[in-house]
Amino acid sequence: MVIYHLFHYLTEGKHYAYENSLFRATVAGLFCFLVVLLSGPAVIRVLLRFKIGDRPEFDRADLNELMKSKANVPTMGGILIIGAMIAAALLFADLTNFYVVMGLVTLLWLGVLGGVDDALKIRAARRGERRRDGLRTAEKLLFQLGLGVVLGTFIFRYGGENHAISAVSGAMPSYRILDVPFYKPGIALGVVSFMLITVLVMTASSNAVNLTDGLDGLAAGCAALCTVVFLALTFIVGTESAARRLLLPHVPLSLELVVLLGAMLGALLGFLWHNCHQATVFMGDTGSLPLGGLLGYVAVVTRQELMLFIAGGVFVIEALSVILQVSYFKMTGGKRIFACSPLHHHFQMRGWTEPKTVVRFWLIAALCGGAALATIKLR
């Protein structure tokens, strides 16, 4: 915001590259990459000094053996990502933009929630407590659902103040159209259905990324690939001519979100420098919850909720593997579908090395992202 408004003041009435959202997204991405890359070692040393280390613990002895090398690796590294993104937004984004402000609210809300969860786990481990689950599931869901309600209310209430007529509906404001791949007209939403979808997407996306964060570089790499897809989608939806040409709903003011997404991509790539095998830091819930939440938020704003399920295919599969495993275990009195869940641990148990598992999941994530972008032309 500081640099954005200073430049705008000095060059008022003139046209410069800095006014272009994609240019500022690129600058924000480079800024975040360098900040995370260069400040990473210092932050890691601080985390080590305060003994904020991971203590992976599973209900299978063989998996514990596989994961023992991760003991005491610093966690809560998500503060690197979130801190860099917020700094980039303050410097390069337009904070008078409603969607940018709500995106930052999402980051802070879920970042604090994840930080509290990580802190409780670490404290329990230091005390030698048997259970190290952090916040109860119901407590986490309460805050996630609360965020979904807040965002849904504000977007539905204020999104219409600068609404556009949907490129596909011809009559319904774009912010109230659920865009459906392969289906040109889209689906008109009332307030109840809009709120339900917002809450579901926000909760599911934040938890799905959280479940994926179990191997070195897995969540960060998959999230980076998904971010690239939503950078493209947000640019299209935020640009009226592109939205009309590609039969996507045009959402005015949403274009500024590319700056936040560019910052997220740069921060994730910088974090991967430290998080790739052998990882020297983990993002923890402090990073995974807000990153997943921001992807969900952007999907809601751009009306691309269903596209998130395609682009984030790895996250969907990981979450479904946990749901199926737990449900089947309860219904059959102890039988399992997978050797272990989430799914990446299943393949570990089947003999895949950690780097092989991660790279193969990255490849699947890239294919899912490509498939999502391909659907744009199939309308």
Per residue in 267-326, pLDDT (tens digit) is 999 999 999 999 999 999 999 999 999 999 999 999 999 999 999 999 999 999 999 999
Distance of alpha carbon 71 from alpha carbon 262, whole angstroms: 32
How many beta carbons lie within 10 A of that of residue 175, not counting itself? 26
Per residue in 317-361, pLDDT (tens digit) is 999 999 999 999 999 988 999 999 999 999 998 999 999 999 999
pLDDT confidence tier of residue 371, bands split at 50, 70 and 90:
very high
Residue with tokens 């360098």: 34
Q: Is the pLDDT of residue 172 over 80?
A: no
In the chain, the percentage of residues whose pLDDT exceeds 70 is 84
DSSP state of 187: E
Q: What is the DSSP string of 260-282?
A: HHHHHHHHHHHHHHHHSSSPS--
Domain boundaries, the chain: 2-377
pTM of the model: 0.92
pLDDT confidence tier of residue 178, bands split at 50, 70 and 90:
confident
pLDDT, position 57: 64
Q: What are phi and psi of 151, to 5 degrees?
A: -65, -45
Q: What angle do CA 64, 68, 72 make, to 5 degrees?
A: 130
pLDDT, position 62: 66
Token representation of residue 234: 């947000």
pLDDT confidence tier of residue 37, bands split at 50, 70 and 90:
very high
pLDDT, position 169: 45
Per residue in 74-90, pLDDT (tens digit) is 999 999 999 999 999 99
Residues contacting residue 311 through CB under 8 Å, at least 6 positions apart? 226, 229, 230, 368, 369, 372
pLDDT, position 176: 72
Distance of alpha carbon 25 from alpha carbon 141, whole angstroms: 32
pLDDT, position 14: 54
Per residue in 188-247, pLDDT (tens digit) is 888 899 999 999 999 999 999 999 999 999 999 999 999 999 999 999 999 999 999 998
Q: What is the mean pLDDT of the chain?
A: 88
